[in-house]
Amino acid sequence: MGNGVKNVTHRRSNPFGMAPDCEVTVPGYGDANAHFHVIGDHPGVHGGADSGVPFTGTSSSERFQDALVRANLLEAAGTPPEMAKTYFSYLYMCASESEPTAADYADMERFFDSELRAITAHVLLPVGQRATDHVLANYSAYDGVTDIDELHASEIQGAGWLIYPIKDPDEWTDADEQELIDALVALQQRDYRQQADLGRFLPGSDPYRVR
């Protein structure tokens, strides 16, 4: 069964060579052929300024990684984590003392969008309100409520992706954590791949799935 073109790289950190103009960056990290793309805000919110790896270095990021291990999206938590079909990145990958401005996010958008489309994961997992707002506005036709408390761990059909918004881990209750784990485990028990079967255009009866 074909799966379309795969990225040929074994680099875990910044596999596509993104190089924004900032002194310290926390680039994307993980499997360049990931099925799951976890999208955070920036290093000041979700960690990684010291390690250079998203979602590391804080107590909430450790809790988040542990939940992903239990949901079978990571092989092991750590700095760096052991990735399994998953990729981490930020809307704004520069690490700085100040909060990014709207112009800062807009300037970084080209890097984030290029990376997201290069990976072509089947499932997008925006973490927090800002990431959720951005993903729903740019990669779906969703026009309902955008309150992260209500959307947490629910499924939204995007434009070529499934989207599962996630509350910021530092705001989780135990119920929020378990709800996310249960939703991701259930998702993986069905065919979640967002692919088209082009086998009908080819000789024979075998499917040929492409992203």
Q: What is the pLDDT of residues 11-33, one digit of tens each?
A: 889 888 888 889 899 999 999 99
Q: Which of 36, 60, 33 is nearest to 48 (CA)?
A: 60
C-alpha distances out from residue 80 to 12, 123, 128, 151, 158, Å:
10, 22, 21, 28, 29
Tell me the CATH architecture of domain 50-210: 3-Layer(aba) Sandwich (3.40)
* Helix ranges restricted to H, 100-173: 102-119, 129-139, 148-151
Average pLDDT value for residue range 84-112: 94
pLDDT at 206 over 60: no
The answer to whether residues 93 and 81 touch, using CB atoms and an 8 Å cutoff, is no
Distance between CA atoms of residues 118 and 31, nearest Å: 12
Q: Which pTM does this prediction carry?
A: 0.88
Percent of the chain with pLDDT over 70: 87
Higher local confidence (pLDDT), 203 or 37: 37
pLDDT at 9: 59
pLDDT computed for residue 201 by the predictor: 37
Q: Which residues of 168-190 are buried (b: 16+ CB within 10 A; e: fewer)?
A: bbeebeeebbebbbebbeebbee
| Per-residue pLDDT, 195 | 56
Quote the mean pLDDT of the chain: 88
